[in-house]
Structure 1
Amino acid sequence: MSGDDLIEVLGNKYNTDILTATEEAKSAQDLSDELDVPIATCYRRIDELEDAELIELHDRPLSAEHRRVKVYRRTVDGVAVDFRDELTVELDERSAVQNRLDEVWRDLSATQ
């Protein structure tokens, strides 16, 4: 995705709030409640952030009602924007170690 496209995604209302909140995996309903974002808007923003590869579907655990719930987490830990010579956007992706630890935890949780 180009720098211009990323700036547009990051500039949309609620997207940076959702990125900040998804350091830990959360469902759309959790994000809606926590950020006071209408649920339909929350789903649209999640789709937009997924398309930009800034968040990902992390898991689908069972809810208390025994229904699968999608939980999302961000794929980046930081975004750097530079306007000096030309627009550049650099993404600081989550570390491989952190991603692997998340996978191990998810696998352990699924077996219980």
Structure 2
Amino acid sequence: MSQSRTNGNESESTAVLAALGNKYSAEILCAAGTPKSAQTLSEDIEIPIATCYRRIEELVDAGLLTCEGRQLSTEGRRTNIYRRTLDEIEVNFSSEQPALSRKNRTEAKNRLQDQLHE
């Protein structure tokens, strides 16, 4: 995993904290360790699909979730598939602005998890 630290980037810190502060965001990130559609995430977490789409949009905008592509749903429609971009995040409040430290997911880890879940 690669690790990055964000110091003083108020807009990024604010976006990340706002996204994480919303109900169901953490559950979506936990469930999105492997690629999943919004419908699958909604069913797995047992939340309304409209709420799931709103949270997904917020998490994508904050850089915590990414669209990995599209696949056909069981109904034959093309749907976006999402996966989290990190495994850990730490927030340090000891300065004037929050500082984020995150452990991003590597492509190797993504491929390994995909093989384990096939």
Tell me whether the two structures share a fold, i.e. TM-score over 0.5: yes
1:59 equivalent in structure 2: 69
Q: Normalising to structure 2: TM-score of the pair? A: 0.77
- When residues 7 and 67 of structure 1 are mapped into structure 2, their CA distance, relative to the original with a 3 A threshold, is same
**How far apart in 1 are the matches of 2:72 and 2:25?**
26
Larger % of strand: which?
A: 2
Alignment of structure 1 residues 27-106 onto 2, 5 Å? 27-86=37-96, 87-99=98-110, 101=111
Larger % of helix: which?
A: 1
Q: Are the aligned partners of 2:25 and 2:55 in contact in 1 as well (CA < 8 Å)?
A: yes
Spell out, residue by residue over 1:50-70, the C-alpha distance to the aligned partner (whole angstroms, 9 max, x if none): 111111111211223322121
Q: Are the aligned partners of 2:67 and 2:81 in contact in 1 as well (CA < 8 Å)?
A: yes
Spell out, residue by residue over 1:68-106, the C-alpha distance to the aligned partner (whole angstroms, 9 max, x if none): 12110001111111123342111211114235x37xx8x
**How far apart in 1 are the matches of 2:36 and 2:107?**
20
1:22 equivalent in structure 2: 32
Give the letter for the 1:39 counterpart: I
Q: Relative CO higher for 1 or 2, CA cutoff 8 Å, sep ≥ 6? A: 2
Give the letter for the 1:18 counterpart: I
Spell out, residue by residue over 1:17-36, the C-alpha distance to the aligned partner (whole angstroms, 9 max, x if none): 10010001111111111111
**How far apart in 1 are the matches of 2:74 and 2:40?**
14
List runs of 5+ in structure 1 lacking aligned partners.
Answer: 106-112
Give the letter for the 2:108 counterpart: V
Give the letter for the 1:68 counterpart: R
Percentage identity across paired residues of the two chains: 43
**How far apart in 2 are the matches of 1:66 and 1:42?**
21
Give the letter for the 1:41 counterpart: T
